[in-house]
């Protein structure tokens, strides 16, 4: 079971218990001022935000910072963080979002809606049952409307690409009917997965909002920003500028990759000579190989040709017929 999900449900009338995210990092966010400023402006105006970017780029860190900033006080925060291994399980993201909050308002729901919602939140619902499906859709909408009538609502979803299709459709149904209510969505979606497609697919349930969300790409870090990031970490010793350039080039400015490479360097008794390949830790190597394994044979061949060239160009790849 995902450690972010607590088993069991509280007794009726018990105070809501928020889901646990991974602990926020103690270090400051580096190189994210522009993204944060644009997201703040959008959320402050009542709009919704979708952060996008590849794995390790720092979407979750930005998401946590914004959630902490905008989810305080009287705001009702509903959270979910779906995973790839659980994306086939219907209603799972809905359970994460509403399991505890629904207990506060379920008594006010009509009996058919209350029964349908309880069945979904306890794993007894049939996602193919159309009559119950309508009651459940109305129940999800009613819960969000009721909560929004009491306080602004912030729906937070990390790794939106792994949200199960049933939960996505239920939230989309509600999102289409939330115009004028203080309900904002803050989500992050990973690019570079087999679920990546057109913008509507990438937006998921956010595509149905009356006011389209602001899509913000979380960019790679520059060499200077990467230097700041590593300097903030006590476990990373000062690095020579040439080594820092190597880390930036190898990681592509991806903070997670860069930190892993720097960690491997710190554990190495002798630093690499200029031009010598950087040591790649096993965990990072496995992660990259898994991502390569998910590509088509043609794409892997193209990467092989690109990797073999001293200075690969698009023209070179075209000449190779790729």
pLDDT digits (tens, 9 = 90+) for 171-191: 999 999 999 999 999 999 998
pLDDT, mean over the chain: 83
Strand order in the sheet with 214-217: 76-80, 153-157, 183-190, 49-53, 214-217
Nearest to 100 by CA among 133, 52, 147: 147
Nearest to 120 by CA among 95, 145, 102: 95
pLDDT at residue 201 in the model: 58
User: What is the pLDDT at residue 123?
Assistant: 83
232-269 confidence digits (pLDDT tens): 886 666 778 888 999 999 999 999 999 999 888 887 76
Of residues 110, 113, 23, the one with CA closest to residue 60: 23
Per-residue pLDDT at 137: 96
Report residue 195 as tokens: 């679920």
- pLDDT, position 305: 75
pLDDT for residue 283 is more than 80 = no
User: Residues with Cβ < 8 Å from 261, sequence gap 6 or more?
Assistant: 247, 250, 251, 278, 279, 280, 281, 284
Cα(252)–Cα(211) distance, integer angstroms: 34
The pLDDT of residue 45: 96
- Whole-number pLDDT of residue 9: 38
Confidence bin at 302 (pLDDT 50/70/90): confident
**Fold of the domain spanning 33-217:** Rossmann fold (3.40.50)
| pLDDT digits 0-9 by tens, 132-159 | 689 999 999 999 999 999 999 999 999 9
| CA–CA dist 4, 96 (Å, integer) | 9
Task: State the Cα–Cα distance between residues 295 and 272, nearest whole angstrom.
Answer: 31
Query: What average pLDDT score do residues 98-126 get?
Result: 91
Share of the chain above pLDDT 90, in %: 56
pLDDT tens digit string along 6-27? 333 333 333 333 333 333 343 4
Higher pLDDT, 4 or 226: 226
Query: Which whole number is the average pLDDT over 215-231?
Result: 95
Distance between CA 172 and CA 186 in Å, rounded? Answer: 14
DSSP 159: S
Q: Does 298 score more than 90 pLDDT?
A: no
């Amino acid at each position: 079971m995902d450690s972010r999900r607590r088993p069991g449900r509280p007794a009726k009338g018990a105070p809501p218990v928020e889901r646990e995210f991974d602990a926020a990092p103690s270090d400051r966010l580096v190189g994210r001022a522009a993204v944060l400023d644009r997201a703040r402006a959008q959320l402050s105006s009542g709009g919704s935000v979708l952060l996008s970017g590849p794995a390790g780029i720092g979407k979750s860190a930005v998401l946590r910072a914004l959630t902490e900033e905008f989810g305080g006080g009287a705001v009702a925060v509903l959270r979910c963080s779906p995973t790839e291994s659980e994306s086939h399980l219907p209603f799972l993201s809905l359970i994460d979002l509403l399991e505890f909050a629904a207990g506060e308002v379920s008594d006010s729901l009509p009996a058919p809606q209350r029964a349908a919602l309880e069945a979904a939140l306890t794993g007894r619902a049939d996602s193919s049952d159309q009559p119950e499906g309508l009651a459940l859709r109305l129940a999800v909408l009613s819960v969000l409307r009721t909560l929004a009538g009491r306080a602004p609502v912030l729906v937070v979803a990390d790794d939106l690409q792994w949200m199960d299709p049933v939960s996505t459709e239920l939230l989309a149904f509600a999102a289409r009917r939330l115009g004028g209510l203080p309900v904002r969505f803050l989500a992050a979606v990973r690019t570079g997965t087999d679920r990546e497609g057109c913008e509507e697919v990438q937006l998921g349930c956010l595509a149905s909002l009356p006011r389209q969300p602001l899509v913000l790409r979380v960019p790679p870090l520059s060499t200077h920003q990467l230097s700041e990031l590593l300097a903030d970490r006590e476990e990373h010793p000062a690095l020579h500028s040439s080594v820092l350039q190597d880390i930036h080039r190898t990681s592509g400015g991806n903070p997670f990759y860069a930190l892993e490479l720097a960690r491997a360097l710190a554990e190495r008794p002798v630093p690499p000579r200029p031009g010598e390949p950087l040591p790649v830790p096993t965990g990072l190597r496995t992660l990259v190989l898994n991502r390569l394994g998910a590509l088509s044979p043609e794409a892997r061949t193209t990467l092989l040709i690109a990797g073999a060239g001293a200075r690969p160009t698009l023209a070179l790849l075209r000449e190779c017929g790729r």
